[in-house]
Amino acid sequence: MPTPPASLPVFGPHAQIVTLDEDGDLFIWEVETDGNLTARSIPNVPVEE
């Protein structure tokens, strides 16, 4: 599980922020209606040139 961002802008329920970890993996953080954070991982996919 990645470390959540230090602060999240709250724009209302289900606000989202995207972070990038040191391995190049993306995580989408969602603020739930109860204020908890959940993270969804988007694995790093190499781009072919």
C-alpha 6/C-alpha 48 separation (Å) is 33
Q: Where does residue 6 fall: left (phi above 0), alpha (psi -120 to 50 degrees), or beta otherwise? A: alpha
What single-letter DSSP state applies at residue 33? T
What single-letter DSSP state applies at residue 34? T
Q: Which pLDDT score, from 0 to 100, does residue 34 have?
A: 76
For the stretch 3-47, pLDDT in tens is 666 665 555 556 677 788 887 788 888 877 777 778 888 766 666
Parallel, antiparallel, or unpaired for β 26-31 and 37-42?
A: antiparallel
Q: Residue ranges of the domains in the chain?
A: 1-42
Q: Which pLDDT score, from 0 to 100, does residue 6 have?
A: 61
Q: What are phi and psi of 35, to 5 degrees?
A: 95, -10
Q: Which pLDDT score, from 0 to 100, does residue 10 have?
A: 56
pTM (whole model) above 0.85: no
Q: Are 8 and 14 in contact (CB under 8 A)?
A: no
